[in-house]
Amino acid sequence: MYETLVRLTILGILIFWPLIPLFWIPVHLFTGFFKRLGVLTYPLAFILWGAATWLTLSFKDLLLQALVPVPLAIKGAGWLLFLLGLALHTWTIWLLRARIIGSGELGLEMAELETRPPFSLCRHPTYLAHVLIFWGGAVATGSLALFVVAAADLLLTLFVIIPIEERELEARFGERYRTYAKRVPKLIPGALKRKKFS
């Protein structure tokens, strides 16, 4: 039973992770193009995701076998982080339920700047949820593939996705977003900004 849970967790994360970079990076880098493409952006993203899923499933035996030993107490902490990430992700999805993902970026609706919790605690709670899910899943299962995905996701999130998304949000919401960004930390709730000394 536990082995089945581990295998499903590994495969689930490996299958669903590509949706994030395959959709968000192109949409934020080439916003004008995808605004013209409109709702056709979604089938295109799902076609690419289908190809990534096929590739993942083609190598699933190899991906599921590459495990590193993790002490039981640390595995328990990993499961806790994983569940916390799922809960946070569910919260953000529930909060944004009236909107289609990416609809504001694609110009399909006039989305408002979301500032209610958890968005009042950090500007990117969905990405924080992904960090918790991927790192928690990697630690809980000991999957080498998940450690690679967790590291790749963290680097992509910090250095590609968040910077281009914040530029787009600033362009869309202007001073309102700049004010929000000054008072709410980027990713870690409660993170203190360093004061500049002259």
pLDDT in tens, 117-142: 999 999 999 999 999 999 999 999 99
Distance CA 66, CA 138 (A): 11
Query: Which residues of the chain fall below pLDDT 70?
Result: 98-111, 192-198
Q: Is residue 190 part of a domain?
A: no
Q: Is residue 196 part of a domain?
A: no
pLDDT at 98: 54
pLDDT at 122: 95
pLDDT at 197: 34
pLDDT at 104: 65
CATH number for the domain that contains residue 103: 1.20.120
pLDDT at 103: 65
pLDDT at 109: 62
Q: Is residue 191 part of a domain?
A: no
Write a three-state SS string for 62-88.
HHHHCECCCCHHHHHHHHHHHHHHHHH
Tally of domains within the chain:
1
Domain range holding 132?
2-183
Number of C-beta neighbours around residue 131 at 10 A: 20
Q: Is residue 161 part of a domain?
A: yes
pLDDT at 195: 43
pLDDT in tens, 77-106: 999 999 999 999 999 988 877 566 666 666
pLDDT at 22: 81
Q: Is residue 35 part of a domain?
A: yes
Q: Is residue 119 part of a domain?
A: yes
Tokens 């250095």 belong to which residue? Answer: 159
67: which strand partners? 143
Structure letter (DSSP) for residue 38: G
Closest CA to 70 of 144, 153, 154: 144
Closest CA to 38 of 98, 105, 99: 105
